[in-house]
Structure 1
Amino acid sequence: MPQFQYDQLNDMHIDVLRELGNIGAGNAATALSTMLMQSVQMSVPKVKVLNFQDLTNILGGPENIVVGILTHLHDDIQGMIMFILEQKFAHVVVNILLNKEINDYTQMTEVDYSALNEIGNIMAGSYVNAISSLTGLKINIMVPSITIDMAGAILSVPAIELGMSGDKVLYIEEDFIGSSESVRSCMLLIPEMDSLKLIMERLGIEI
C-alpha cells in the first residue's frame, strides 16, 4: 500500500488541524501571558499544507535571518515541531522577559538564548497538550534546541526529515498580540505519517 503523503490531506483534515492550532494557540497565549506578566492574545491560526520549497519565500527569502526552535516528539507520536520566529519576536520577548534592550540578534547573550528556548518549550508544550487532551495519546517533547541563522539554513534540518514523507509540510502561522507589539510566529508541525494517521483516527477522521 502506498504511503500516505501530506498533500493527500483534504479540507476536513485541514479544519481539524486548524482547530488543534486554535486550542494550542490559546494555551500558548495563556502561558506566555503568565511568563511575560502582560496580556498576550493570538490571532486565528492560518493552517496550510505547503510545498517545502515555498517556505523560504514566506519567511522572507533564504538569506533572511530568523530564529529557529526545534523540538522532537516521542512516545505515542513521533515527529518534530519547529517554530520559526522573526527577529522582532526575539527582541520583544528578551526585552520584556529580561528587562533589557536589544535591537539586533548579534547583541544576544547565552542567557537571552536560554530565555527564548524556554519560550519555545512552552509553546511546543501548549500544542502538544492540545493534541494529547483531544486524542488521549501520550506525547512528550525533547528539550528544544535554538538557532539564529538564515532561513534556508534553518529549514535544511526539517528538510531531511521531510524527505521521508514527501515535499509537503504542515504550516501554522499566527500573530502574538501584546499590549504594544504584534509579532508573527510560524510553526512547522512534522509528525511522522503513521503518527498523523493515528491523530486523525483518534479524532474520528478517516485518513
Structure 2
Amino acid sequence: MSKEIPAFTSNDVEITDVTPVYNGFFKMQQYTFRHKLFAGGWSDDVKREIFERGHAVGVLPYDPSRQELVLIEQVRIGALATSSSPWLIEIIAGIIDKGETKESVCHREAMEEAGITLQHLTPACSYLSSPGGTTERLHIYVAQTDASTAEGIHGLEEESEDIRVHRVAEKTALEWLKNGHIDNAASIIALQWFFLHKSELMEQWQSQ
C-alpha cells in the first residue's frame, strides 16, 4: 500500500542561509537548505537562486448578458525568445502589496488595467507559478462585469504599462484556448476553470 501523500511537510526542510543576490524591480535570493530524503536521512546542502516577486492575483471578468469576457493585451519581454509576438492576451492581474487583500487588488487592477468594475468576485483556484525557481503564488478569481464599459488603452505610466483592453466573445476565447493563441499560464488556468464551472458559477451569481 502506498504511503500517505505527501510524505513530508515544511518541517522536513531546514533552511540554513538566505543571501540576497539582486534587488531591483524584482528580487533574487540564494537559499541554502537541506531536506529529508525518500530513502531516509537528510540531503547534503542544496543551493538555489530564487526569484522573489511577491504573490499575485488574476481575475477573469465575464458579462453573462453579452456572453463576453474581458481580456487585456500587453508586451511581455519574457515571451520574446519563444513567441512570434511578445504581445500576449492575458487576464487582469497584479501583485499583492503589503497591507492589501487579494480582493482589493482584484478591484484595483480591474480599474487600472481595463477601466471596469467587478461584481460577484468569486475565488476560482490558487497555484504556484514555478516553484522550482520562485516563491510566487497566484490566486485566480472570476467576476461579473459590464463588458460594454471595457474599451481603450490603460495602465499606469509610472509602471511603464501600455495595456489594450479586449471584449472577447465566449466562443472566441474558447477557440483561442484550444488553438494556443492564449499561451500564458494564468490565463489558460482561469479560462479552463471558467469553462469547467460555468454552469454552477452562473447559478451562484443568480442566487446572490
TM-score of the superposition, structure 2-length normalised? 0.27
RCO higher in structure (CA 8 A, sep ≥6): 1
- Of structures 1 and 2, the larger Rg is shown by 2
- Give the number of the structure whose residues are more often helix, by fraction: 1
TM-score of the superposition, structure 1-length normalised? 0.27
